[in-house]
Structure 1
Amino acid sequence: MAVVTGSDDLRLVDHHCHSVVGHELDAAGFGALLTEAPAPAGDPWDSMLGLAVRRECAPVLDLPRHVPAADYLARRGELGVAEATRRLLAACGTDALLVDHGLRAGDLLGLDALAEAAGAPVAEVVRLEAVAEDVAAWGVAPGDYADALVEELDRRTRAAVACKSILAYRYGFDVPPHPPAPAEVAAAARHWLHDGGRLRHPVLLRHALWCGVDRGLPLQLHTGFGDPDEDLHRANPVLLTAFCRATAGTGTPVVLLHCYPYHREAAWLAQVFPHVWFDVGLASTYVGHRAAEVLAEALELAPFGKLLYSSDAFGLPELYLVAARAFRRAADRVLGGWHAEGEAGGDDVRRIAAMIAGGNARRLYGL
């Protein structure tokens, strides 16, 4: 079916990902990055993702597919992290990476080093909560916090392509959909700046979110599947319906990340709100051969021009390649199936595949 969809030739724009580890990893360190859990339950290789790494990545490192995990890690160590990373990222067929570098940045390659390793341009997605926490760490007065955040966000996003919120992790989407009043922000800042710690106060999270809206860049929001910091039912994007109404006239695109298992809800939001976009990244990596079913369900309602490709890869270059291969295979099965059943012509499926792979992201982010 790749002949029909042209998936083998698709050039990808990874509209949401993270950087990779630049140092050698032992078996435990590698395994810890094969799961969203804080500590692997059992052998992390015994998962859809573990199977996919051994299947998709081993040949890139000159090994047979399905090689035992120990042999894979030994060969990776032989090549060295720089060469393994270069090979794996080159095999993805990616033209651009839009990178959230606000999570454990000190453990990962910087953006310039990632661009060199990937052989592709990198642009930054600025994490709102990370900027807010930096502002708080400067010792700003509670009454000055709101303005200080706006100024710092403006400075950090001058060369960025998007902002991102992790409201789903820090609280959940069941918050009022409108920006808080200045007095609310000052009172909340007084408590947070006194107590310290990560930003979890719902008023200040809403304030940061609306600072992102006001910035006017596409606003990415993590939704759905993630690590146990979040309550999954409060990360359902349908809880953002009122927020989508409130932002409809702002001119700021709202981009729902990952979405699984709520990708059908996200598809509905993308259909009924012109400024809402979404992806099924991360999930397509973890669900293995079921990625085609996730893509098919996302496309049941979604306008084809509103669905984006992402890997949400973090730490391991293997995750970039597994995501890229999963997407191409899913596109073959779903869109090629439409063609085989007479639902769409060959030109249509090739055009739709290219839109999702990169065309939609180029249009959304002005690449």
Structure 2
Amino acid sequence: MTEPVAAAVDSLRLVDHHVHGAASGGLDAAGFAAGLSESSWPAPAGTSHLDSQIGFAVRRWCAPVLDLPPHVDVPDYLERRRVLGPAEVTRRFLTASGIGCFLVETGYRADEILGPAEMASAASTPTEPASAEEVVRLESVAEDVAAAGTDASGFAAAFAAALDERARGAVGLKSVIAYRYGLDFDPEPPDPGEVRRAAGQWLRAGGRLTDPVLLRHLLWVGVERGLPLQFHVGYGDTDLTLHRSDPSLMTGFLRRVQDRQVPIMLLHCYPYHRTAAYLAAAFPHVYLDVGLAINYAGSRSAAVVAESLEVAPFAKVLFSSDAWGPPELHHLGALLWRRAMTELLGAWVSSGDWSSADAVRVAAMVGAGNARRVYALGER
């Protein structure tokens, strides 16, 4: 009874609705280990970040893609990567992932990673071409505007014009307000005077954008564009104050924008993925994924995926790898998601709780269909 489910999940051409580019150059041992950790700090002396669920998952599931045995030692793994070279390593992992479309967020260290067109090219085969679209980070656009030169009175207009230009070919927008301030922000849009005063202070001080008034302003300008708006939620690096990234803190904003019919995409979400699932069930415009957590949970990823499917409507859950840097993460995110869905849906079919047809249909929705609908990919 479960064979059709396994076959359907395995054959899906996934849409990775939130992802970053693979590393554009080679990675040494330190760079590779750093790419498999959200910590900004090296591992304690005598230990390794690779002694983790994600490190073990890479050695188990990624080694065979490089023609190595599962669980190969790290030095042998890194040597094989070096011999093959970054382009071949990336090609192997992206094509093995079975991801047919990447929605690439380009606002973070873009000079170190492949852009959307390069991702599509590396993931394509003669029989299975891949595609990629861009997701624009609001804060990066604002910082580019400041770097190009503007004054306080001209900031709002300059940002709006720059966003229009950057978003012209994009399928979505993203905010990292969870990092820069927190999700406990004032849900109301700031008035023009507040924006002008805050812009003046920021432009004089310089640095990255952390002012809560301006961050709120960017959100509302983004809402006006009508594109799906992604929010980093939960698990992330040490720049984050975790308890302020609980998505329930932005409930006021969700209520405030509901009538705008702008899809709000809650990304990653762990350990607040059950909260995000509740919000997706409660609000018609809220969606979620557990992308980043899948890779970092490794052999426990099925438990995280299962929890995300407890109360969320299945039309509100999307697949994401949130991979950045080592292309192992793009492949691993897809592989672990497929393993989790096959295990979970197969068990529900075997128990008689679900029909095989429903399981296949839900897998297709979460793996690709929901993203194609929400981001209007079929219209491009």
The bucket for the TM-score relative to the shorter chain is over 0.9
Instruction: Give the alignment of 1:233-312 within 5 angstroms.
Output: 233-312=243-322
The equivalences for 1:1-367 within 5 A come to 1=2, 3-5=4-6, 6-41=8-43, 42-119=47-124, 120-367=130-377
Would the aligned equivalents of 1:2 and 1:332 in 2 still touch at CA under 8 Å?
no
* Unmatched tracts of structure 1, length 5 or more: none
Measure the CA separation in 1 of the matches of 2:264 and 2:234. Answer: 15
CA deviation vs aligned residue, 1:293-344 (integer Å, no higher than 9, x gap): 1111111110000000000000010001111111001101111111111111
- Per the TM alignment, residue 138 of structure 1 is displaced from its structure 2 partner at its CA by 1.8
The whole-number CA distance in structure 2 between the counterparts of 1:244 and 1:297 is 22
Q: How many residues align structurally?
A: 367
1:248 is displaced (CA, Å) by 0.3
**Cα 1:2–1:226 shift into 2, 3 Å:** farther
| d(CA) in 1 for partners of 2:30, 2:255 | 45
CA distance in 2, matches of 1:348, 1:355: 10
1:143-193 CA-to-partner distances (Å, cap 9, x unmatched) read 111111111101110100000000000010111111111110000001000
- Which residue identity lines up with residue 67 of structure 1 in the other structure? V
C-alpha distance in structure 2 between counterparts of 1:93 and 1:282, whole Å: 18
CA distance in 2, matches of 1:66, 1:166: 36
* Contact in 2 for aligned 1:167/1:221 (Cα 8 Å): yes
Partner amino acid, structure 2, of 1:127: R
Q: Secondary structure at the match of 1:91?
A: helix
Distance 2:164 2:13 in 1: 32
Structure 2 residue identity aligned to 1:10: L
CA distances 1:2-41 after superposition (whole Å, capped 9, x unpaired): 5434211122100000011121211111111010011232
Cα RMSD (Å) of the superposition?
0.9
**What SS is found at the alignment partner of 2:291?**
coil
Contact 1:292–1:329 under 8 Å retained in 2: yes
The Cα shift of 1:239 comes to 0.7
Task: Give, in whole Å, the separation in 2 of the partners of 1:134 and 1:94.
Answer: 31
**Structure 2 residue identity aligned to 1:17:** V
| In 1: Cα distance, 2:27 partner to 2:15 partner | 27
Is the contact between residue 174 and residue 231 of structure 2 (CA under 8 Å) also seen in structure 1?
A: yes
Q: TM-score, normalised by structure 1?
A: 0.98
What is the CA distance between 1:116 and its match in structure 2?
1.1
Contact kept? 2:102, 2:116, Cα under 8 Å: no
Q: Matches of 1:105 and 1:152 in 2, distance apart? A: 18
The runs of 4+ residues in structure 1 deviating greater than 6 Å are none
Structure 1 CA distance, aligned partners of 2:60 and 2:3?
Answer: 19
Does structure 2 retain, via aligned residues, the 8 Å contact 1:31–1:40? no
**Amino acid of the structure 2 residue aligned with 1:362:** R
1:53-88 superposed Cα distances (whole Å, 9 cap, x missing partner): 111111111111111111111111111110111011
Please give the TM-score of this superposition, normalised by the length of structure 2: 0.95
Alpha-carbon spacing, 1:201–1:299, altered in 2? closer, same or farther (3 Å):
same
- Percent of residue pairs bearing the same amino acid type: 55
The 8 Å contact of residues 26 and 85 in structure 2, kept in 1 or not, is answered as yes
Consecutive unaligned residues of structure 2, counting only runs of 5 or more, are: 125-129
